Amino acid sequence: MTQRIRKAVFPVAGLGTRFLPATKTVPKEMLPIVDRPLIQYAVDEAIEAGCDTLVFITNRYKHAVADYFDKAYELEQKLEKAGKFEQLEVVRHVLPQGVQAVFVTQAEALGLGHAVLCARAVIGDEPFAVLLPDDLIWNRNGDGALKQMADHAQAHGVGAIAVQDVPREQTASYGIVETEGFQDRSGAIRRMVEKPKPEDAPSTLAVVGRYILPGVIFEHLEKTGRGAGGEIQLTDAIASLLADHQVDAYRFRGTRFDCGTHIGLVEATIRFALDHEKISDAARDSMATALRELGVTDVS
Ligand code: G1P
């Protein structure tokens, strides 16, 4: 896969039940980390990696995602009139010029593999990226995770999947890969299992929500039946792809926050607040005060 990726798929049709009642009306991808919704972080990462076509796999409860990426004429006019140029720039840069958003409906929630298959008509047969916005990856002063992976995929002519080490007792929450000849940051995937029990897991190297895949994955997805949890799993289609395509596990530089969980969302919020150009000092003071008032003295 020496071709550069241009298209990125964002599966955003999930129900977000963990965050009820907030997600009764607000899609989980729109929950903010300080001042930007979760989806914006994934979108920025894809654009940084060179993508100019963003494909959102959505459903009828997720209009807020499409509205967010639409041009807000009235709001822009009002901000301009009021001389609020900084905010105007922020609103205009939700999607930079030259980047287009495409929305595809996933009528039935049949799993991640099915969601990706819904993008087939837009992707065609070129290599593309998949980003799961729940996984927020922060690499403070360096390249984003997808850019690192795109460089690797292009340099070696392979597919790539982001991985990180997890404690063995957590393997049932992830796709787990078995690799061969792991060196430096990457190794060829030999086997892949979706959410194995700790005693069945072939390793503790877990898939994080970033993938670079060849277009031929759609042929495998077509043939993939229901797997773990009764869903059509992307992991199973990739496992089938491995017979004739090299896909590397890539251990990215950066920190991953699992924003599909309460604690992950809070951790990301704390980290971005402490690093925010306008509120970092106030955030630090506020956290110190909170710990003091709650009588937390051991913060080692
Ligand atoms: C999905 C994938 C899984 C991967 C995980 C990463 O699972 O199916 O292989 O490890 O994302 O976040 P989900 O968390 O959507 O159940």
pLDDT tens-digit series, residues 119-160? 999 999 999 999 999 999 999 989 999 999 999 999 999 999
In a domain, residue 294? The reply is no
In a domain, residue 164? The reply is yes
154 C-alpha to ligand 1 centroid (Å): 24
Q: Which two tokens mark 47? A: 């654009």
Pocket test for ligand 1, best of 189, 207, 257 (most atoms within 8 A of CB): 207
In a domain, residue 295? The reply is no
- DSSP characters over 214-274: -TTHHHHHHH--B-GGGSB-HHHHHHHHTTTS-EEEEE-SSEEEETTSHHHHHHHHHHHHH
Please give the number of the atom of ligand 1 that sits closest to the Cα of 258.
12
pTM: predicted TM-score of the whole model, two decimal places: 0.95
Tell me which residue has its CA closest to atom 11 in ligand 1: 209
Residues touching ligand 1 (Cβ under 6 Å) are 112, 132, 135, 174-175, 194, 206-209, 234-235, 260
Pocket test for ligand 1, best of 163, 173, 250 (most atoms within 8 A of CB): 173
Tens of pLDDT along the chain (300 residues) come to 567 899 999 999 988 889 999 999 999 999 999 999 999 999 999 999 999 999 999 998 888 999 999 989 999 999 999 999 999 999 998 999 999 999 999 988 899 999 999 999 999 999 999 999 999 999 998 999 999 999 999 999 999 999 999 999 999 999 999 999 888 899 999 999 999 999 999 999 999 999 999 999 999 999 998 988 899 999 999 999 999 999 999 999 999 999 999 999 999 999 999 999 999 999 999 999 999 999 887 777
Residue 106's domain spans which residues? 7-287
CB 13 within 8 A of CB 57: yes
Q: Which residues contact 84 (CB under 8 A, 6 or more apart)?
A: none
Tell me which residue has its CA closest to atom 15 in ligand 1: 112
Q: What is the CATH number of the domain that holds 31?
A: 3.90.550.10
> What is the model's pLDDT at position 60?
85
Tell me which residue has its CA closest to atom 7 in ligand 1: 174
**Phi-psi group of 49: left, alpha or beta (phi > 0 → left; psi -120 to 50 → alpha; rest → beta):** alpha
131 C-alpha to ligand 1 centroid (Å): 11
In a domain, residue 298? The reply is no
> What is the model's pLDDT at position 1?
58
What length does the chain have? Answer: 300
In a domain, residue 292? The reply is no
137 C-beta neighbours (distance < 10 Å), count: 23
DSSP state of 37: E
CB 242 within 8 A of CB 131: no
CB 31 within 8 A of CB 38: yes
163 C-alpha to ligand 1 centroid (Å): 11
- Classify 15 as helix, strand or coil: coil
Tell me which residue has its CA closest to atom 10 in ligand 1: 174
| Pick from 69, 64, 78, 79: nearest CA to 43 | 69
Please give the number of the atom of ligand 1 that sits closest to the Cα of 135.
12
Tell me which residue has its CA closest to atom 9 in ligand 1: 175
- 73-124 confidence digits (pLDDT tens): 999 999 999 999 999 999 998 999 999 999 999 988 899 999 999 999 999 9
> What is the model's pLDDT at position 273?
97
∠ CA(103), CA(216), CA(245), 5° rounding?
135
In a domain, residue 297? The reply is no
Q: What number of helices (H) and strands (E) belong to the chain? A: 11, 13
79 C-alpha to ligand 1 centroid (Å): 40
| Pick from 3, 20, 256, 33: nearest CA to 124 | 3
> What is the model's pLDDT at position 298?
77
Give the chain's domain count. 1
276 C-alpha to ligand 1 centroid (Å): 29
9 C-alpha to ligand 1 centroid (Å): 15
**If 0-12 CB within 10 Å is exposed, 13-18 middle and 19+ buried, where does residue 236 land?**
buried
